[in-house]
Structure formats: C-alpha cells, structure tokens
C-alpha cells in the first residue's frame, strides 16, 4: 500500500468518524440546542396572563435570539393597543391570537412561554423576589401594598402588583397613552431585574432545579431539558446580553361618533424599529461606549456631579447632564439602567467599579441610557476605563 493510499484512507476514516460524531450530536441534542448552534435567529413568544381577571393578557413580547451574536431582544407590544383588523384590544385576545410579531420582525415564534399571575408569584418567591427602583412614590387604585420612593426589594405578589397595576385610565388620549406606556415600562423593569440576577438564582437553586421548577409552572412547548439549554445560553457571564424595545403605537380617530380615540399598533414603524436594531446588531454598533448617561449627586458634597461628568467626558463617554439627585443623602452609589440594554449596564458598572448588586433597571422616557447616582461611599479613584 502506497503512502498516498494510506493518507487517503486515514482522511476517509476521520471524515467518517466526524460524520458519526455529528449524527450523534444531532440525536442527543434537544431541538433548542440545535437552534442555539445555528447562525439564524429564532423566536419565543412570551406572555403573562392575569388569571384573576378572565385570563386577561397583561404582557406580550417576542424574544428574538441571535445565537451567533450572543444577543436576545425582548420586543414588547402594548396590550392596551389593538391591531387595526381587530375589534378588541390585545389584552382581550389569547397569546396565540395576539401573536403578530412575524409581521414586524419576519421571525416566527417556534416556541412559547406563558405564565399566569399566580404562577409568576410562586416563581418570584422561589427566587426571593426582585429589587426595583421607585423614583417617585406610587399609588394604584385598590392596591394592597404601598410604594414609597427608593430602591426597594419586593416579594412575588407585591412586585406583580407593582408591575401590572393600572392607574385610572383617563379618556384623554395623551394621558391614556402615557399611562399604558408607564405600565409597560414597569413590567419591562421587573423582567430586566430578574434577568440581571439569573446567574445568582441559578447558583443558588442549581441549574437543573431551576429549569425543572420553571417547567412545572409555565405553559410552554419547551420541556425541562430545553429550558435548561435556554438558561445556559442566557448567561451574562458568557456575555449574552438582553435588549428591550416596544412596538410603536399611534392614536387614531375613532370612526364611531362620541367614542374614545383608538390606540393602534403601528406595523410599519414596528418593522422600521426592528430593522434598525438588527442592522446595529450586525454592524457591531450595540457594543459601544457611545451611550448617553447622566451623573446625579446624592451626597452633600457640592459640585461632585460636575467633576465626575468632566472626568468621564475626558475619557470619551457621552455625559449629557450633571445635577443633584432629588432625594439625598445617599450612603451608597448605584446605577439606574433606563435603556433596557444589559451591555450598556455592564459597561457602566465596569467603568464605575460598582458591584452588580448596585445596579437596578428602571425603564423611563428619558434621553439617557443610564444614570450614575453618586453616594457617600464613592471615590473618584475607582473610576476606570
């Protein structure tokens, strides 16, 4: 046998073994693992139902996952709005009937995760609740709990009430619009803070136990093994980052006389918003330090916010404003992430040398992606780039 023949036989054997290995991998991998090993994005429909009120649809989003880019987007639709072809608001539809996300993203939802309010309470209590920021004291009609301002830790039932409660929805279209947006932002903040602590929960409960418990609570076509694969992928330690956006809406005149104006989903703008996000993701523009922030002084030291602003600007950060925090003095510094982008949050946490426990997500309508709020423990020497 010639040397060339032996080489060819060796290569052929390696190819056969490699093909067997790939076949074994496909046979032993669950369906979601195959999706996660692909370069193509895939979708998961996420919904929260209020089982105390005729299973009203309180939250609805598409989770679009880009495995290769290590990025997931939660694209929320306001359930107070309606699709133009429907007579009812989205909140009165089933999650499946309300799922029109492919019209905006061209990504179908191969999977779904639906949790009702009671199940969510149990899950949140298992995870020891969630920390949120209440920047101004909140009151809701018929609420069981109080919501004074500050960074607060809430158990499951209280955080669900805070996230899903509604103010009295005035007939004035602009107030109605703002109230529904505010509720959506509170829901997003709850989920973002939960995601921020996911690694901590996994470490505490155990990877398999968390997946098995979640599988027993949610209605899903993902089994416990597939949920484990999803949790394994959604890991900030692996630099998989989460973003949050909302499908745009519009207020239109009701064709029926003496009826309240309609709040409609705007599919054209929805496609534009998603396309811009995808283009920025593909071009690497989501991983940048060019995000706008403000610096707020929570101490009694005069001019501290301006000095920190100058320090950060000298190093290339985009600091739009420096001012006093309205509620002081604060003993500890913290970051309020407003954009719903965990990459931005992680970078600001690294720059300010704060611990992950000093980060809280609070979605608001502001021009800044995050606020760095200075407490008495802050030392300018800890700033780094």
Q: What's the pLDDT at 337?
A: 95
State yes or no: cis peptide before 329, omega within 30 of 0: yes
Q: What's the pLDDT at 259?
A: 66
CA distance 242 to 108: 19
Q: Does domain 292-382 have CATH number 3.30.70?
A: yes
Q: Tell how far CA 13 is from the center of its chain.
A: 47
Query: pTM of the entire structure?
Result: 0.88
Q: Is the per-residue pLDDT at 172 higher than 80?
A: no
Q: How confident is the model at residue 206 (pLDDT cuts 50, 70, 90)?
A: low
Q: How confident is the model at residue 9 (pLDDT cuts 50, 70, 90)?
A: low
Q: Is the per-residue pLDDT at 27 higher than 50?
A: no
Identify the CA nearest to 238 among candidates 229, 247, 249.
Answer: 229
Percent of the chain with pLDDT over 90: 57
Q: How confident is the model at residue 25 (pLDDT cuts 50, 70, 90)?
A: very low
Pairing of strands 219-220, 109-116: antiparallel
Percent of the chain with pLDDT over 70: 89
pLDDT (mean) for 316-345: 92
Q: Does domain 38-282 have CATH number 3.40.630.190?
A: yes
Q: What's the pLDDT at 52?
A: 86
Q: What is the mean pLDDT of the chain?
A: 86
Identify the CA nearest to 364 among candidates 178, 137, 224, 208.
Answer: 178
Q: What's the pLDDT at 16?
A: 47
Q: What's the pLDDT at 14?
A: 53
E strand or H helix that includes residue 13: helix 3-28
């Amino acid at each position: 046998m010639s040397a060339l023949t032996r080489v060819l036989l060796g290569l052929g054997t390696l190819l056969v073994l490699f093909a067997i290995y790939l076949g074994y991998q496909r046979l032993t991998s669950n369906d979601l693992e195959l999706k996660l090993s692909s370069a193509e994005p895939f979708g998961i429909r996420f919904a929260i139902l209020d089982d105390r009120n005729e299973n009203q649809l309180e939250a609805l989003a598409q989770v679009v996952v880009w495995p290769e880019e290590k990025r997931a987007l939660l694209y929320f639709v306001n359930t107070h709005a309606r699709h133009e072809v429907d007579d009812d608001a989205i909140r009165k539809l089933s999650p499946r009937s309300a799922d029109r996300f492919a019209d905006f993203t061209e990504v179908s939802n191969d999977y779904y995760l639906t949790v009702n309010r009671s199940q969510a309470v149990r899950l949140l209590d298992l995870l020891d609740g969630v920390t949120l920021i209440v920047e101004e004291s909140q009151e809701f009609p018929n609420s069981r709990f109080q919501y004074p301002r500050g960074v607060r830790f809430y158990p499951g039932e209280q955080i669900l009430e805070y996230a899903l409660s509604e103010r009295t929805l005035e007939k004035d279209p602009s107030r109605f619009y703002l109230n529904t947006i505010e509720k959506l932002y509170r829901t997003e903040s709850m989920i973002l803070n939960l995601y921020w602590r996911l690694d901590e929960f996994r470490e505490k409960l155990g990877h398999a136990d968390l997946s098995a418990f979640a599988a027993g609570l949610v209605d899903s076509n993902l089994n416990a093994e597939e949920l484990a694969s999803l949790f394994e992928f959604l890991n900030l330690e692996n630099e998989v980052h989460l973003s949050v956006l909302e499908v745009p809406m519009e207020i239109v005149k009701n064709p029926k006389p003496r009826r309240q104006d309609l709040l409609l989903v705007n599919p054209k703008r929805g496609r534009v918003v998603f396309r811009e996000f995808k283009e920025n993701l593909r071009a690497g523009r989501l991983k940048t330090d060019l995000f706008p922030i403000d610096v707020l002084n929570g101490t009694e030291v005069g001019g501290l916010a301006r000095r920190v602003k100058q320090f950060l600007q000298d190093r290339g950060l985009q600091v739009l404003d420096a001012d006093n925090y309205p509620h002081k003095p604060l003993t500890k510094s913290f970051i309020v992430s407003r954009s719903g982008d965990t990459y931005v949050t992680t970078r600001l946490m690294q720059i300010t040398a704060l611990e992950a426990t000093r980060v809280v997500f609070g979605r608001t309508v502001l021009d800044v992606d995050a606020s760095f709020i200075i407490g008495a423990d802050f030392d300018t020497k800890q700033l780094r780039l």
